[in-house]
Structure 1
Amino acid sequence: MENFQDSALRDDVKRAVAELGFVTPTPVQQAAIPAIMESDRDLVALARTGTGKTAGFGLPIVNDIDVDVKAVQALILCPTRELCLQIAKDLDSYARFRKGVKIVAVYGGAPITHQIREIKDGAQIVVGTPGRTLDMINRKKLKVGDLKRVVLDEADEMLNMGFQEELNGILGATPDEKQTLLFSATMPKEAKKISQEYMTNPAEISVGHSDASNSKVVHQYFKVRASDRFALLRLLIELDPDIYAVIFCRTRREVNGVAEDLRYAGHTADALHGDMSQAQRDDVMKRFRKGRIKLLVATDVAARGLDVQDLTHVINYNLPDAPEVYVHRSGRTGRAGKEGIALSIVTGKEVRKIRDIERYSKIQFELQDVPKQDEVYRLRALRFTESVKNAKLDDKVAAFLPEVIEAFEGIEREELIQKILGYGLGSLSKQMGSQKAVSNAPEDSRPDKRRDMEYSTVVIGAGRNNGFNVPQIIGMINRKMPGKKVAFGKIDIQNHETYVGVDAREAKKVVAAFEGAVDRGTELNVRLFEGGTKVSGPKGDGGKGFGGGKKKHYRPGNFKPKGAKPFKGKKAKW
């Protein structure tokens, strides 16, 4: 299938495709569309995010709907509400000239009665999230007896999010005689089990699922101290005035902290995570798609199915633990043949993750030097100068030009330029002036008898916003562990959480000592960090650097509670 007009699609579907600007199918569309339309055989398609797989299964489904049958003929399952709505919207665009094709999206967080009514009105295609779809099947409001096709889109993500039981329940309720299409970026054992249990001799196609090196995405990484993550992030953002990016963080608290600090620095940024209400998430996504927000700080779960065109950057504030997740993230930029940039901020010990991703995906990363603040000033000054040169004088203002010229009389040309530059970039100077300089993480070769000690990360559910600082954290743990001399690694205090590196042999005892602890009405919820990577110890390279703002990291021995000066702020009650 060289182009859509030569395909076996109906003329009214080809017309819709032409109006959407589709001419040449992507590799996954080229392989999947004929495979689905020319045979009733089940299909497993491995294709990474951003390869056009929605049209790969959506066009055949829209094409083959019998408009005279007012029953659900196709069911498409996907992991999130956002992706569900996006797929339904895409299918509507494919069916715009097919009169009588009705598509309904079903998902949680919205009134089920409205969705039931829409299905009852004659839906032929249902796009749904697993939980809401199974609920409607169990209520007998979604009848699946006439299904001809079932699609599992982003099957690996649905399984990663814990939808195994729901998928089993849905697939178990569908007819044996149907075509099942499984689309996934990877093929974990759970997805393979589904294909074995619910699919019959499926055909398999694989398009770029593990080789992302052919895309137009440039992959770069910067190696810094954990405490410099946010400072570097600000520099990278300041260097590119046209940046339109998703910034991935590990936890929802970190997402909130980074987004808040970016807004404080004057950027249009907002957060997206699973603890937000659906209305909040919809509002954020609406503003981001319209470009009112230029920086979206998100967790992986919240960004499932995120489909935004023209992203210039994907920034990994923290690298994911799984290489395939990195491929998912970076696939959100550089779409439709456009160029994109994937930037990763890593510490020394996290470089191994870069190597894991390279082996998995055949991507080649480029190590970049940390940009200097002076470069930010220089580029901003030149851009401001260019904008002043290109500015046009409004007629209404021009009427007062003689008075303005007179007001500037006596000021030399060079002095006037200085004043204009100072006025235009004064706010930048104030913002950047308060930020410490960032440099490449040094190779630390200092001898340290504690260097081989293993550290684990303990998370405390309180941070700067609760009035806590490093001395309080260390003193509190020492008081809770009488008779023990706990060795501390990195201590990273964020707005709402604190990450403490402690001797791995004592970590569980520290957590147990704080069971049920409450401070000023805040439950501390002390627990082991489950992110998969330990905070570094005395080397100071590779600690988990979470959140932004001014944070201090302490090596063991740098702080001596008994000799410290009295703390003048509020004391924590532990």
Structure 2
Amino acid sequence: MSVYMKFTELNLTPEILRAIEDAGFTDATPIQAECIPTIASHVDIIGQSQTGTGKTAAFAIPLLTQIIPSDHKRPQALILCPTRELALQITEQIRIFSKYMQGIRTVTVFGGQPINIQLQELRRGADIIVGTPGRVIDHIKRKTLRFEHLTHLVLDEADEMLQMGFKEELEEILSVLPKERQTSLFSATMPRSILDIVNNYLVDPKHISIAPKQRTLEKIRQIAYEVPTAYKNDLLIQLLRLYNPASAMIFTNTKKMADDLADLLAQANFSSSALHGDMKQEMRTAVMGKFKRGHIRFLIATDVAARGIDVDSMEMVINYDVPQDDEYYIHRIGRTGRAGSDGIAITFVTHRDARSWGFLVRNQRLNVETLSLPTQSDLDNIQKNQLKNSLTQKMAMEIPSHIEEMAADLLEEGMNPQMLIQVLLTGWVSESKLTAIPPVKAKNHRTYHTFTLNVGSKHGISPTKLIKQTSKLCGIEEKHIGDIRISGNNTTMQVAAHIEVKKLQKLSKMPSNQKVVVALSSTGDKRNR
């Protein structure tokens, strides 16, 4: 079977095909072309591919074709993944592809969210559960999640789950699931620990391996600016004047924001247009034609509308919104730095975006510079240079005779030339004044102390167990715990810096097959995950 296929060739239902078309997809990626028909044929699979290859759709689409909507709403499918960010991304993809399917209900469960919210959702029933291992275990123990009707299990980024220390939780979950089920396991790598799961829990799986595509991001300078949400518009105007790109694409996550930014840039006298799915095809084609010919300088687009756009000489890409998917980020910034030229990709990161942005940077191993916001001195220099350029251009133009006479009269009447220039400049500057954005307050950058423990996965330590013991022994709530990294023989964990260090010493009483020693290894760290 060819790995380059149209979705229309994959024997999908009209409802799913319509949703795929609405999302702007026509061609299946290699992992999708291989996995969709294989999963639909009810066999276990191992999918080996990198993040950003479309693997979420590779399991979500065939899963939806096999869900049978029912009134009792007991879970038929469970999707396990390592982080809350990924769980939310998967849920969003499922909702996109099931938008025309009647009665499909998906519920997401993960740590860090009040469990009462999830209990309310679960009482309403669910066909598909997407969750992280620790929180799924919590619900199983509370008997708020039952899986006697489960027919499909997906383990996404299984290697990452094991690396984060979830082996114990995964085995506990797998032990309570029906033996008669289909299991799909996705992993970028195949270490021994993954092969153990395959051998113990999958039945004659088909191994689908997609070689990673060669990415050429070396010629793209990737920059991030941390900015308060309320100042994103100001920063956009400032950067367009600071970098002064000949052409750029500005990406948003919503159609409304694309329209709003087009209005904003028009008011700032920038040549620009929005491009999104609510525009008629003729209008979208016309806008793209103008952009390619250079008649429009800035294109503000959503990810769906921008699919298929091919412009060789784009100087800059600006992510006004952090993309909702790793793959979108790669597609966005890949539109600059082409045809042998260098490119710039800028991303605005608000406090709300910090976790998902950090996850994306680490997951894709991006080389990103985080720069300070433009200072007032920077902005004043921009304005000064713009004024000089504008005056130089106007001085090269022919001056109307009545203006020459007016200027001569003013000088003859004793008007001070320097004072005259200052008065004229005051009006120009007040109309186009750029004001520096206040720096992000320190409270938006919570700091942590990092502690090291001399026990790890070989001693029965898991993230769930460590969080529970920290709460029980030290009286520290989960919301104050940052990153946890577990290896075979040791563990590092971050705890909010305002927590007294001596509290953590109580973890030495944690049940273990060897004496637990807790040591403070660093202070004032930023959260890793």
TM-score (norm: length of structure 2): 0.48
Q: Which has the higher helix share?
A: 2
